[in-house]
Amino acid sequence: MAIPQLPTQVSPPEFALSPALPHQIGGAEVWAFPVLPGDDGPLLGPGADEASELLGTDLLAALDAARATGRTGEVTTVPVAGLPSADDVSVVLLVGVGEASVTDFRRAGAALARATKDRVSVVTSVAAIAPEDGLGAFVVGAMLGSFAFHWRSTGPREQPVSRIVLADVTDDGADDELARAIALGGAGWRSRALATVPSNLKTPAWLAEQAVEVGEAAGLEVRVWDTDQLAAEGFGGILAVGGASAHGPRLIRMDYTPRGATKKVPTVVLVGKGITFDTGGLDIKPSEGMLTMKRDMSGGGAVIAAMAALRDVDCPVRVIGLVPAAENAVSGTAMRPGDVITHFGGRTSEVNNTDAEGRLVLADAMAYAVSELAPTVLVDVATLTGAMKVALGQWTGGYFANHEGLAAQVEAAAVSSGENVWRMPLVTDYEERVASKIADGDNAAGGAGAITAALFLQHFAGDVPWAHVDFASAAESPADRHEWTAGPSGFGPRLLLAWLGSEDPLDGIA
């Protein structure tokens, strides 16, 4: 069978900084100015008065006519093409920034990106009034709000704006903030792209090839286990889940070492669920439940994308990323309800639901990490349970932690990154649910499904500080909303990078 060829995809905008105001920068097709709510009506930001005078257009009157308030993400469009002094500019955009928080600027960036698709260049002073970290948030929002994916014979329906110039920016640290934001936004873009690729191309082997490619470009060491190597080393969970597919499973390992690292530098291990398609196995999903299952490897995509950006955010600790990748299919070699599998290291699981497969592959990778990698911290990320969406709804992921210092780091990273998570309890009383009468554990305890899944995984973390992020709730955006575009969200890499790119990721832990 011929391997499908992915068409060339669109790219995110390029960004530049300038101390000049928009009207002083030539060649722009769009000028964009910030709008703040005021007691007596909305207020316009830097350069708007000069633009009004130059164009002979009352921009405040345009806001009044549109009944604009300056609320976050509100965009008022003022056409100016054909005015004698307009030169190259054809439209002015007035972008609301609400209360001017970091989150407001991230959302304003996304709104600007959506309003300028198919444009060549935008010059904007929105970021000039941003608070600390707001410029970076604006850039991340503009990047991710531009995301698109296509597989059309005629090419993409629309293109992101090619270039965004951040005007009236004079801060000494702006260059560094911009570079970091591009790394964060780029990781989110990559994770989203990996999750969006259809599974007739995205096999475990293909996902491994992407990890090798981006890992080598980022200066990482990358190793991939194939089916025979997994069998030789006892990765029974990965093999069982992937056993029904014509596309054999893989285990991907990516190693990052910070510049100038010594042997004393601690190690963080990230584990990402890499189920490239999930039918549910013999406990097959209903057809509507399979429609989004090409993105069941979103945890693995988040780890791959985060690993590739660690050097860009100057991560100070050693990080190893593990992605157990498999396709949960249906055939005569599928694992069956009632089967018992032996994980790496020897712990056994009774398979009482083949659609609870993610925890089986994560368990292998976690057991390998604890046994072979001596991690100071272990974090797994996965689209693991529908129960998490029932608990937390569409836009918030859940996390569990066995260590208070690590929980605090996850909380801080969520606030910083805009990828929201809520802490869930590891309820000891539910341990009896994950016990099996014939094996060490039961993969389908049911009941409080997100909690019992976490309890199942906790046995593979040993005594290592561990966090489990279950973002099945946030893995799919049903519509465009702020920086999220409709489709797979690519959730996770910004959360991981906000933590690992902080000054001391292990503060309070080690």
Strands 43-44 and 30-36: antiparallel
Q: What gap in Å lies between CA 43 and CA 109, rounded to an integer?
A: 18
Closest CA to 149 of 8, 290, 14: 8
Among 370, 342, 372, residue whose Cα is nearest residue 237: 342
User: What DSSP letter does each residue of 37-79 carry, written as one string?
Assistant: --TTS-EE-TTHHHHHHHHT--HHHHHHHTT----TT-EEEEE
Q: Answer left, alpha or beta for residue 492, where phi above 0 means left and psi between -120 and 50 means alpha.
A: left
- Catalytic residue ranges: 285, 359
For residue 272, give the nearest of 296, 250, 303 by alpha carbon. Answer: 303
Identify which of 119, 474, 57 has the alpha carbon closest to the alpha carbon of residue 298.
Answer: 474
Asked if 354 contacts 283 with a C-beta cutoff of 8 angstroms, the reply is yes
Question: Are the C-beta atoms of 113 and 454 separated by less than 8 Å?
Answer: no
Q: Do 284 and 231 form a contact (C-beta atoms < 8 A)?
A: no
Buried b (16+ CB within 10 A) or exposed e, 90-100: bbbbbbbbbeb
Which residues contact residue 263 at a Cβ distance below 8 angstroms, ignoring those fewer than 6 apart? none
Rounded alpha-carbon distances, angstroms, from residue 118 to 24, 155, 501? 23, 13, 33
Q: Are 168 and 125 in contact (CB under 8 A)?
A: yes
DSSP string over 167-178: -S---TTHHHHH
Cα–Cα distance measured from residue 416 to residue 131, given in angstroms and rounded to the nearest whole number: 13
Residue 143's nearest CA partner among 176, 170, 116 is 116
Q: Which residues pair with 124 in a beta bridge?
A: 32, 166
